[in-house]
Amino acid sequence: MFISNAYAQAAAGGDTQNTLISMIPLVLMFVVLYFVMIRPQMKRQKEHKAMIEALAKGDEVVTAGGFLGKVSKIGEVYIGVELANGVEVQMQRTAVVQVLPKGTVK
């Protein structure tokens, strides 16, 4: 009595253009994300890898812990860094953050 009959609506056909237009902001967000975040990070990683591979004995470096020293030994994975006269530490090559110009560490 009080409940009316419910009828199904006809399915909307041909709304593919509306769907494509609604996806454009999402695609644009991914493009911007790639150029603002992902691409620069990949470039930094490539530069850091090249710097680590180019390390040579006598280079003056800054480590991730903030130590400044001269490279005294070089191995495949580890390097020896002389922090002061007679004080040498062994650390991973990836711990080197920056190679300094010659003469910086006295």
In a shared domain, residues 60 and 50: no
- Residues 11-47 have pLDDT tens digits of 655 567 788 888 999 999 999 999 999 999 999 999 9
Q: What percent of the chain has pLDDT over 90?
A: 75
Looking up tokens 């006269």 gives 85
Q: How many domains does the chain have?
A: 2
Question: Chain-wide mean pLDDT for the chain?
Answer: 90
Asked if residue 86 is part of any domain, the answer here is yes
For residue 52, is pLDDT > 70? yes
Domain that holds residue 98: 56-106
CA angle, corner 10, sides to 4 and 1, nearest 5? 5
Query: Is residue 35 a part of any domain in this protein?
Result: yes
Res 14: pLDDT: 56
Token pair for 16:
């593919």
39 bridge partner residues: none
Query: Which residues are bridge partners to 53 per DSSP?
Result: none
CATH code assigned at 61: 2.30.30
- Is residue 69 located within the same domain as residue 102? yes
If asked whether residues 64 and 48 sit together in one domain, one would say: no
